[in-house]
Structure formats: C-alpha cells, structure tokens
Copies of this chain bind each other. A is one copy, B any other.
Amino acid sequence: MAETMHIEPVKLTRDDFTSPIDARWCPGCGDYSILAQMKKVLPELGVPKENIVFIAGIGCSSRFPYYVDTYGYHTIHGRAPAIASGVKIANPDLKVFVMTGDGDALSIGGNHFIHLCRRNIDITIVLFNNEIYGLTKGQYSPTSKQGQITKSSPYGSIERPFNPVEMALAAGATFVARTIDREPKHLEHILKRAAMHKGTSFVEVYQNCVIFNDGVYNSLTDKKVKDDNLIYMENDKSLLFGKEKEKALHWNGTRFEVVQVSDHSVDTLTKHKEDGGNPAAEFALSSLSMEAHLPTPIGVFRNAHIPTYEQMLQKQIDDVTEQKGEGTLETLLNSGKTFEIK
C-alpha cells in the first residue's frame, strides 16, 4: 500500500482506457459490446486509472484485461477470483474487476467463485455467459442446455445447467445482476452499478458466441420476440413485459405467474425489490430463466449492504493494534519467554 500514489482524480474519458492492443475476438462476438460499455463506465467511477485492475482467468472472455489500458493480469484458468482476492486485500484502494467466462467461473473456477461471493470482498465479477467453451473451440459448459450438441457432446449433453445468478445468490454475493450484450444501455447501467457497489458484486452477461453457439439468446435479443421474453427489473417498479407492456409477472403468494396488466389495477401488481431482504423472491425470480415458458428477467436481483471482508480485516488490525500496540521488529523478536545466557 505504501507504494500507492494518491493523485487528485482527473476527468478521464473512454479513450484513456483504450489499450494499444487490438481486441482479437471473432468479428461479431458479444465480447466487443462488453468491452465498449466497460470503457464508458470506467471514467465514471472516479477512480484514477492506475488504481484499476482487471484480473482474468483463461477463455475468450478472459482476454479482456489486454484490451483496457489499466493494470491487467491474465492469469490461469479458473483462479481469477482467488488472485483478485489477494490483490484487493493487499491494497484496498484498488478497484478490482474479475472478468470471466461460464467455463472459467463455473467449471474449473466454481469453488473460488462461490467463496469470493461468500466473503464479500469488494470485487466486481463480470461473467460472460455464452453457454459454451469458446476458446477451446466449442465444448459444452456448465451453463449449456441439456441436449446441446457440441464437440464433446455429439449426441447431446446429458448435464443439467447451473443458473449462475442462483449460485451467486446462494453463495452470498451482495450485489447480483444480469444483463445482455445486445442491450448496450442496460449493460452499461448494470456494469456501472456493480462497479460502484461496495462488496462482492456479480454480473451475468448473456453473451453471444457467433462461432460456437450463435443465437443462443435469440429469444431475448431478436426484435420480433424479445418483448415477450425479456423483463427489465427495476427497483420498486412492477415487472411488466410484452410489446405494449401489457403483461406482468405477479407474485401469487407462492410463485411468480404471468398476468395481463389489464386484469389488475397497476398498484396491486407485485413490485420488484432489490434490497436483499427476501430470499424467497430472489430465488423465485432467478429460477424463471430456467423455465422455457416464463420470461427471463434482467436487472438487479439483490443489492444488499454489509461490511466487506477487507473492512473487517482492517478493523481487526486496528483493534488489535490499539489493544496491543503497534508491533515492531524489536518487540517481535523479544516476545515469548526469553532468557539470558551469560
């Protein structure tokens, strides 16, 4: 920490974050959109550029750090959450991002992912979910749909997918959200809120892989049908959808059901609450995306505020120091039961 220089924040622009290295994703890859929105968000955070660190594992998505002109560490497959934890604990002044894929975060890195959420270290995790292993050329991932035909499942995958939002909620992340590469405004908005959140924030981005899983989110991005399939959750607002916002998700006391707005007076419709106080609603909402006949919500599932790991660690350091005095090398060496030999 001693090495961190504190400089008056200057107003930065997206160009300040443009890396000299050209992004090398396939033309049309959803990753470009995430990069573009992130570069818009970064100058808005009020964090000096040298205090921003991107940590990634391995995967197409994990190439991300090279493409922003900040500190960046392209590490090994699945371990970014653990590496990022060390970075943040070592220097809590840094704004730390973990950029990861569905394979990187949920397959090999599943354990580090859930433990980071549990510890509530102030890190923003952005998961590029393309439901495929892109970099290794198209095997099914832990979010691929059952039956999906891929290089490693020529007769269809027999595995059930994880729901990343549900895992993050269960593991204890304090900010949990979902967005889509093809909704740039929404994406930007969510990335910004996640980045500003204090504690572990998690954003699942539905991302299209044009090469190995093209169109997997068509029902949510295709203009013709998306209105009937996508719900934008907003705090304190009803969960409307449909071309004319004529439909709504309504809580029937046990679960969400689709109702016609016309059948209800608007203020009796269930309002979305982000405050993290109600596990029942959080999980009920998150489970919708797994049901083919129900709309998929994007937006914020949970936004809770509790002390972060590194705040508690600092408090413990302060408390112990106050109680025992600051340790010096002299006291260190001479602690314990000493005796003189003459």
Interface status of A123 (Cβ within 8 A of chain B): no
Q: Please, what's the 1-or-0 string for A128-169, where 1 marks a CB less than 8 Å from any CB in chain B?
A: 000000000000001000000000000110111111001101
A309 touches B159 (CB 8 A): yes
Bound Cα distance from A282 to B284, whole angstroms = 10
> Closest CB of chain B to A305's CB: distance in Å?
14
Interface status of A218 (Cβ within 8 A of chain B): no
Could you say which interface size class chain A belongs to?
35 or more
Bound Cα distance from A158 to B320, whole angstroms = 14
Name 12 interchain pairs, CB-CB below 8 A, sorted by A: A111-B111, A114-B167, A118-B160, A119-B160, A158-B309, A158-B316, A162-B171, A251-B254, A254-B278, A279-B283, A279-B287, A283-B283
Interface status of A172 (Cβ within 8 A of chain B): yes
Taking Cβ atoms with an 8 Å cutoff, the residues of A that contact B are: 107-111, 114-115, 118-120, 142, 155-156, 158-163, 166-167, 169-172, 251, 253-255, 278-284, 287, 309, 312-313, 316, 319-320
Instruction: List the B residue with the shortest CB-CB distance to A110.
Output: B111
A110 touches B120 (CB 8 A): no
A166 touches B156 (CB 8 A): no
B155 touches A316 (CB 8 A): yes
Closest 7 CB pairs of A and B: A170-B170, A111-B111, A158-B312, A110-B111, A280-B280, A280-B284, A283-B283
Instruction: List the B residue with the shortest CB-CB distance to A159.
Output: B119
Given A162-B171, A169-B170, 13 more pairs with CB closer than 8 A = A108-B111, A114-B114, A118-B162, A155-B320, A158-B312, A158-B316, A163-B170, A167-B170, A253-B253, A279-B284, A280-B283, A282-B283, A283-B283
By a CB distance below 8 angstroms, the chain B residues around A158 are: 309, 312-313, 316
